[in-house]
Amino acid sequence: MLEIWCWGLLGCGRQPVTLFNQEGSIPFSTAWLILISYVFICMENKNKYFIVYKTINLKNGKFYIGVHETHNINDGYFGSGKFLRNSIYYHGKENFKREILELCENKKQMYDKEREIVTEELIKNPKCMNLVVGGVGFIDDEKHRKISRLGGNATSLKLKNDPQFKKRHQEIASKKMKKQHQLGKIKYDTFTNKKHSDETKKLMSKKHKGAGIGNKNSQYGTCWITKGDINKKIKNVDLPQFLQEGWLRGRKT
């Protein structure tokens, strides 16, 4: 921890001002910049609120718990969680409300309180839109990648096991794409009313010549077999075994 020794801070003139750390002293100019920065930080945080909040979807009761630093406690901030953003986009901001769970004195206390509330057990709640436990605070790139992977895995699992969530996710994605297209941010470059030049045709022909023949064919070394109402494609090398089990070569249409 740094120890500041400052003589004559106001109008110090030639008075010595030195900042000591474990490696020795720091020059006057550096120490002065650190002190000024400290003053500005104190002024910045003087009227700042550190809150732990809960945003609730009034339509389905789902909720998101997060932290927020602000100079205006009524700034209307609902949060930035992935599920939450999609939910607000789908249901509309008017169908959400925010409750302040805790008004903290500083950032550390704020993240500590979030860590107490947003636990592994809470995340398992189907109504909870949080993806990771609370109290993360400032994270480095590796932790950010880890959290992104966890969030991606959680989304994939939910898409697989929750039909309603999957349907809503698809509707939101479709709505976003249509909006981007209407705004001209997405343009689909089709080949309608266009033609390949003779030179391009020759190049295409040359490139594809011999493709799909012999072992270059994606179906090479496979065959169809059938049994009852079931058709199945297998590798030729496995055919004898399936024939012994009562399968027939070919398929029923």
Per-residue model confidence as pLDDT tens digits over 215-246:
878 888 999 999 988 999 999 999 999 999 99
Q: Which residues pair with 160 in a beta bridge?
A: none
The answer to whether the beta carbons of residues 78 and 67 sit under 8 Å apart is: no
Q: Is 217 left (phi over 0), alpha (psi -120 to 50) or beta?
A: beta
Q: How confident is the model at residue 176 (pLDDT cuts 50, 70, 90)?
A: confident
Tell me the CB-side half-sphere exposure of residue 23, using CA atoms within 13 A. 2
What the block records as the tokens of 180 is 């981007």
Angle between helices 82-91 and 141-161 (to 10 degrees): 50
Q: Where is 250: in which H helix or E strand? A: none
The pLDDT tens digits for 95-129 are: 999 999 999 999 889 999 999 999 999 989 999 99
pLDDT at residue 253 greater than cutoff 50? yes
pLDDT at residue 177 greater than cutoff 60? yes
Looking at beta carbons, which pairs linking 242-251 to residues 24 or more positions away fall under 8 Å?
Answer: 249/223, 249/224, 249/225, 250/224, 250/225, 250/226, 251/224, 251/225, 251/226
For residue 70, the one-letter residue type is: T
Of 105, 96, 59, the C-alpha closest to 76 is 96
pLDDT of residue 14: 39
Whole-angstrom Cα distance, residue 86 to residue 151?
A: 14
DSSP 58: T
Three-class secondary structure of residue 147 per DSSP: helix
Q: Structural domain boundaries of the chain? A: 3-46, 49-135, 219-253
pLDDT of residue 46: 60
pLDDT of residue 65: 94
Give percent above pLDDT 90 in the chain.
32
Answer with the residue of higher pLDDT: 138 or 186. 186
Concatenated DSSP letters of 164-226: HHHHHHHHHHHHHHHHHHHTTS------TT----HHHHHHHHHHHTTTTSGGGSTTTTEEEEE
The architecture (CATH level 2) of 49-135 comes to 3-Layer(aba) Sandwich (3.40)
Q: Which range has highest mean pLDDT (18-22, 36-40, 206-210)? A: 206-210
Residue 81: CB atoms within 10 Å: 19
pLDDT of residue 7: 37
Answer with the residue of higher pLDDT: 15 or 36. 36
Give the global pTM.
0.44
β-bridge pairing 248-249 and 230-235 = unpaired
The answer to whether the beta carbons of residues 214 and 223 sit under 8 Å apart is: no
Q: Where is 54: in which H helix or E strand? A: strand 49-57
Task: Report the alpha-carbon angle 127-129-132, nearest 5.
Answer: 125
The answer to whether the beta carbons of residues 66 and 127 sit under 8 Å apart is: no
